[in-house]
Chains A and B, each alone.
Chain A
Amino acid sequence: MAKKKHSTNFYLIMAFFVSAVIFASGIGIGLFIDNLKGESISASLSDMRLSLQDAEIELLVMDYLGGSLSCDYLTMKSTELGEQSTNLGTQLDVFEQSNQINPDFYVPLKQEYTRVLIKNWITLEEIKKSCNSNYSTILYFYNNIDCQLCDNQAYVLEYFKSLLGDKVLIFALDAGLNAGVVDLLRYNFNVEEYPSLVINGELYSGYQDTNVLTQILNVS
């Protein structure tokens, strides 16, 4: 046969080393990007926390001044907060779906996000109460395990968000996250099945289709 320059074993060993280095680099780059994603989400969480603190202080200032002049500003602020939490939630979702090797990597981030999200919900409920704002808040309880309708429910909620914009603020809470504060809310609202929705403080158990939500949210 035509003479090759090196032995077969040489090529096999070389291929093993080169492919191992490329493969390890691929995994390394993947992990590095995971870290970047984590850092980016952490930074966004910090921003959201700061915005929340601002809103809380502004609420206190409004209480202290006893006027409703700042309501327009606070309502605008609540819209921004809602947008921020929605965007961050989407990023976390994409991150969660893409992270199939080490699912534990994003869990602490999601727990942190959930805590900030609930704080956000409370603040927005307070703004709503103080300013008599006309937006609806929805707490959406879902579970990633054994909940075939949860994906569908999330999609229907996205649809209503697209339809109503600032008029509805959605807070998605993963019941399987092992977060004490989510359990507390579940206990408080008697959430026993998934998906479940708490719309403006009232519990709706099970999947809610577009017809039901249209009535509840008064969509014309």
Chain B
Amino acid sequence: MISIIILCLLYFFLFLSCFWVIVFLDNLDVLWEDPNPKKKYQISVIIPAYNEEKNITKSIESTLSQNYPRELFEVIVVNDGSNDATRRICESYVKKGLIRLFNKKNGGKASAMNLGIRHAKGELIFILDADSKADKNCFNNLIGYFNNSKVAAVTSSMTVTSKKTFLQKIQWVEYLFSILMRKIMSLFNCLHVTPGPGSIYRKSIIQEIGGFSEKTLTEDMEIAFNIQDKGYIIENSLNSVVLTNTPEKIADLIRQRRRWYTGFIEDSSSYKHFFFNKNKGFLGAFLLPSNVFGTFALLFLSFYSIFLLGKNFFKTLTNFNSINFNLLTVLKFPELSNFFYGINIFSIISIILLAMSLILVYYSLRTSNVKIDLKNNFWDYVSYLLFYSILMTLFWVDSIFYKLFFRTNSAGWRYGKKEALN
């Protein structure tokens, strides 16, 4: 029985992989096309900042150096009660007349962005996290999508600033993979997150739907659901590139993912009427249910694998104990010919799934215009394939526990900094 369940789950993942690969290949030539803008829009860049003294300069500079008429965009920094040098750094730009600065009591990222929106003069709002940098052609690549009056937001291709640690290398591949997935999902109008780094919104629609929710952990996901709920469109541009910082340490990464995944649980619960709802398009009818099912399937497969590993470990330990750990006598290399007798349907389907994953990773690299440098990045790809699902399981388990036992209603900042949660 368990074998049949596992086969069904493997088929489910195979179907999803095939679906995305087919869509990608069929639309390969149109993915990079951004519409030509019919007019130049007035843009307000909003940079919400909380204790970002190390990053804020680069973030501001990247927006000021946009290839876009300077008179057509303004830069607003909202300092959300930072207790470091963020305010002082921003004031130096204010003195030069380059940015507008609003200081407020700490209240979370969403409240900072809402304040910025209230003071914004532009028709479009470009949000940039204070730890991120925008490519100089971002505005030009993004604004063409607003020719369509139903478009409420456009997201950018997000990649990582640096990949020094093992975890950052895995995240680097993950982000590249997300670039591809976001673009393909935009073809079905089923983007359900408009990431903080480099998403641009039509101000009138944001105001119409009530701005960013200040209660949720993931305001960028909640607003995307809200936009979709009101029947508007979210687009994605592969050519608009933003660079963002990623957590270096596992504790920071866990906190970040706890915020993301708990946010997903809460937001999808708030918008549960999307599920299996044909009126909510592909997002409601297929993507959200398959995402939730896929998560549970991944958890089931991971726990089952852990159970089998534990069982085998216990068995091996018992066996070693029964021969008084006289291992030198029995340890020998298994005969190669016996591997042949161990091959079964599961191993073959798993190999096929691994091949599909490799294809998707390969196309992700092509999509992101990253040079496929196997010599230098081989272990990054391998680490991603080997450890990503393990990390995902860990993050999901942590988030579910957090949601069930510890979650309060405070919204926070990236990585879930404790200070901001007060």
Question: How far, in whole Å, are A23 and B282 apart by their CA atoms in the complex?
Answer: 25
B352 to chain A, nearest CB (A): 5
Question: How far, in whole Å, are A16 and B26 apart by their CA atoms in the complex?
Answer: 16
Question: How far, in whole Å, are A162 and B330 apart by their CA atoms in the complex?
Answer: 6
Measured CB to CB, the residues of B under 8 A from A are 3, 7, 10-11, 14-19, 22-23, 26-27, 30, 33, 186-189, 233, 235-236, 282, 286, 315, 318-319, 322-324, 326, 329-330, 332, 335, 337-338, 340-349, 352
The answer on a CB contact under 8 Å between B11 and A19 is yes
Q: Which of B33, B330, B341, B352 contacts A26 (CB 8 A)?
A: B352
Q: Taking A2-B30, A94-B342 as contacts, is the C-beta distance between A210 and B322 under 8 angstroms?
A: yes
Query: With A23-B349, A159-B322 given, can you name 9 additional A-B contacts, CB distance below 8 Å?
Result: A1-B186, A2-B235, A4-B23, A4-B27, A19-B17, A26-B348, A27-B349, A156-B319, A162-B329
Question: How far, in whole Å, are A87 and B336 apart by their CA atoms in the complex?
Answer: 12
Question: How far, in whole Å, are A27 and B345 apart by their CA atoms in the complex?
Answer: 6
A22 to chain B, nearest CB (A): 6
The answer on a CB contact under 8 Å between A8 and B330 is no
A-B contacts counted at CB < 8 A amount to 130
Closest to B29 in A: A5
Stretch touching chain B among A30-38, A123-131, A174-182, A197-205? A30-38
CB neighbors of B among A88-145 (8 A): 90-92, 94-95, 97-101
Q: How many residues of A contact B (CB 8 A)?
A: 47
Taking CB atoms, residues of chain A closer than 8 Å to B10 are 23
Taking CB atoms, residues of chain A closer than 8 Å to B3 are 100-101
Q: Which of B11, B323, B335, B337 contacts A23 (CB 8 A)?
A: B11
Taking CB atoms, residues of chain A closer than 8 Å to B19 are 11-12, 15, 19
Q: Taking A16-B15, A19-B11 as contacts, is the C-beta distance between A1 and B189 under 8 angstroms?
A: yes
B310 to chain A, nearest CB (A): 15
Taking CB atoms, residues of chain B closer than 8 Å to A6 are 26
Question: How far, in whole Å, are A16 and B318 apart by their CA atoms in the complex?
Answer: 46
CB neighbors of B among A150-169 (8 A): 151-152, 155-156, 158-159, 162-163
Taking CB atoms, residues of chain B closer than 8 Å to A3 are 30, 187
The answer on a CB contact under 8 Å between A2 and B344 is no
Closest to A155 in B: B319
The interface residues of chain A, by DSSP majority, are classed as helix
B151 to chain A, nearest CB (A): 8
Taking CB atoms, residues of chain B closer than 8 Å to A12 are 19, 286
A29 at the binding interface (Cβ < 8 Å)? yes
Taking CB atoms, residues of chain B closer than 8 Å to A33 are 340, 343-344, 348
In the complex, 9 of the A-B residue pairs with CB atoms within 8 angstroms, ordered by the A residue number, are: A2-B187, A3-B30, A8-B188, A15-B19, A22-B14, A94-B338, A98-B343, A159-B323, A162-B332
The answer on a CB contact under 8 Å between B187 and A1 is yes
The answer on a CB contact under 8 Å between B329 and A98 is no
A106 to chain B, nearest CB (A): 10
B164 to chain A, nearest CB (A): 35
A18 at the binding interface (Cβ < 8 Å)? yes
A217 to chain B, nearest CB (A): 14
The answer on a CB contact under 8 Å between A18 and B338 is no
The answer on a CB contact under 8 Å between B343 and A22 is no
The answer on a CB contact under 8 Å between B23 and A11 is yes
Taking CB atoms, residues of chain B closer than 8 Å to A4 are 23, 26-27, 30, 187-188
Taking CB atoms, residues of chain A closer than 8 Å to B319 are 151-152, 155-156
Q: Which of B186, B332, B348 contacts A30 (CB 8 A)?
A: B348
A61 at the binding interface (Cβ < 8 Å)? no
The answer on a CB contact under 8 Å between B329 and A159 is yes
The answer on a CB contact under 8 Å between A19 and B18 is yes
Question: How far, in whole Å, are A91 and B346 apart by their CA atoms in the complex?
Answer: 18
The answer on a CB contact under 8 Å between A15 and B18 is yes
Closest to B150 in A: A1
B347 to chain A, nearest CB (A): 8
A72 at the binding interface (Cβ < 8 Å)? no
B76 to chain A, nearest CB (A): 29
A14 at the binding interface (Cβ < 8 Å)? yes
A220 to chain B, nearest CB (A): 14
Taking CB atoms, residues of chain B closer than 8 Å to A156 are 319, 322-323
Residue with the greatest number of chain B CB neighbours at <10 A, chosen from A2, A23, A97: A2
A80 at the binding interface (Cβ < 8 Å)? no
The answer on a CB contact under 8 Å between A5 and B11 is no
A209 at the binding interface (Cβ < 8 Å)? yes
The answer on a CB contact under 8 Å between A158 and B330 is yes
Question: How far, in whole Å, are A15 and B187 apart by their CA atoms in the complex?
Answer: 16
Q: Taking A100-B3, A101-B3 as contacts, is the C-beta distance between A19 and B187 under 8 angstroms?
A: no
The answer on a CB contact under 8 Å between A210 and B324 is yes
Question: How far, in whole Å, are A30 and B340 apart by their CA atoms in the complex?
Answer: 11
Question: How far, in whole Å, are A27 and B329 apart by their CA atoms in the complex?
Answer: 39
Taking CB atoms, residues of chain A closer than 8 Å to B335 are 87, 90
Question: How far, in whole Å, are A92 and B117 apart by their CA atoms in the complex?
Answer: 70
Question: How far, in whole Å, are A23 and B356 apart by their CA atoms in the complex?
Answer: 12
Question: How far, in whole Å, are A4 and B25 apart by their CA atoms in the complex?
Answer: 11
Taking CB atoms, residues of chain A closer than 8 Å to B17 are 19
Q: Which of A2, A8, A27, A36 contacts B282 (CB 8 A)?
A: A8
